[in-house]
Structures are given as structure tokens and as C-alpha cells.
Amino acid sequence: MELRTLTDNAVVLSPPRSDDVDAITEACRDPLISRWTTMPSPYTRTDALRFVEDTVPAKWSNRFPDWAVRTSEDGVLCGMVGFAPRESDDPEVGYWISPTARRRGLATAAVRLACGFAFAPDGMNLRRVGWRAFVGNLASAAVARGVGFRYEGLVRNGLVQRGVPRDVWVAGLSADDPPGPADAWPIRTSREVR
């Protein structure tokens, strides 16, 4: 798959660059990112370098893009959004936002833009995108719900985090779903709790 940069009025999604390594390293040392992801912990600069130089290009070549989230084309990396293969045919969206850029709607804008690319005929041309988050990750659930993902249930021991099986919430977004926010989420998301 050819590398692509996406943009709308809120965010710019571009493949991460070598000069993003330090920003990725710093963000991924955040306790919340460590708590809610399967990334290595503690996260090192070597992990970030391997991600940018090896993981991202391999994922793009296998049609699973990863983008840096920025507020302008030459802006600082604020987070990441991308797709990963799953057991089913539907890829799964994943995302994180650095602590200094949270609560500005960047994750919702980035996920919405990435999913638009996923469904576009000149993008990934998918019918459906999946989402999973560890039970309790209300911020991720708020983003997924806001984009329009439909809650589909809880999977016991659905993911392994650093050797420990954990329960996960699951949701899906189909190409023909109306834009969010989606109704019928039985969990109260972080935006509803405030």
C-alpha cells in the first residue's frame, strides 16, 4: 500500500517519521497509555525506533496503515492511529493520544478520518472495522462511541496484556452505519461521567 497523508479541519494523519521517535517514547511512557495498551512497559527509545523503522513500514506493506496524529502538516506528533489485523477479516482500529494533547477531540477526529479511509474505495475498501479496549477504558469507549462504533459485547480474557489475560469490550463500525455518536452502549463513557 502506498503511504498516504490524510487531513480534515481538525487533524493531519501522516506516517510517523524518524524525528517523531522522541515524542513517541515520551508519550508511551505515560502510565495511562501503559495501562490501556499492550505496548512494552517500560517503553524505551529503542521500542519507538523499532516501531517507526520496522513495524510501521511492515504494516503499510501489508495494508494496515499507521499514522501519526498532528494538528498541522509540520506539527508535533500528538498521538497515533492505525489498523491491526484480527482473527476475523475485519481489521481493528487502535489509537492513543499523548497526555499534553488530550481532551481536545483529536482522537475522535483521527479515528473518524482513519475509518473514512478504511471504507473508501481508493483507501482500504473495507466493509467493517473492529474496536477492542480493556474493560474500564472509558476514554477509548467515548471515542469509539462518538465515531459511531456499535457496542457488541464483552469478551472474557479477550486480550493478553504482558502475559495476563484481560476482559475486553468489543464494538464494530460498518461502512453503511450512520455517523456517530452511536446509541445503545450499556457502559457510561468518560464524557458521560463528567
| Distance separating alpha carbons of residues 173 and 86, to the nearest angstrom | 15
Kindly state the greatest CA–CA separation across the chain. Answer: 42
> Phi/psi at 23 (nearest 5 deg)?
-65, -40
The model's pLDDT over 3-33, given as tens digits with 9 standing for 90+, comes to 999 999 899 999 999 999 999 999 999 999 9
- Check whether 79 has a pLDDT greater than 50: yes
pTM assigned to the model? 0.93
Report yes or no on 1 lying in a domain. Answer: no
Mean pLDDT of the region 114-135: 96
The gap between the terminal CA atoms of the chain, to the nearest Å, is 41
Contacts of 191 (CB under 8 A, 6+ apart): 142, 146
pLDDT above 60 (res 109) = yes
Q: What is the average per-residue pLDDT within 141-154?
A: 96
Q: Does residue 122 belong to any structural domain of this protein?
A: yes
- Lowest average pLDDT, out of 14-18, 177-181, 183-187, goes to 183-187
Cβ-contact 114, 14 below 8 angstroms? no
pLDDT of residue 189: 58
Task: Inform me whether the pLDDT recorded for 160 exceeds 80.
Answer: yes
Count up the domains in the chain and report the number. Answer: 1
Q: Percent of the chain, pLDDT > 70? A: 96
Report the b/e string of 61-76 with b at 16+ CB within 10 A. Answer: eeebbbbbbbeeeeee
What's the grid cell of residue 81?
492511529
| 70-77 average pLDDT score | 95
CATH number, domain of 163, equals 3.40.630.30
Query: Mean per-residue pLDDT for 104-118?
Result: 97
Residue 192 has pLDDT above 70, yes or no: no
Q: Which residues are within 8 A (CB) of 34 and not within 5 positions of it... i.e. 6 or more apart?
A: 28, 41, 42, 43
Residue pair 59/65 in contact by the 8 Å Cβ criterion? yes
Evaluate whether residue 113 is within a structural domain: yes
Report pLDDT for 193: 42
Q: Where are the alpha helices (DSSP H) in 11-53?
A: 21-28, 31-36, 45-50
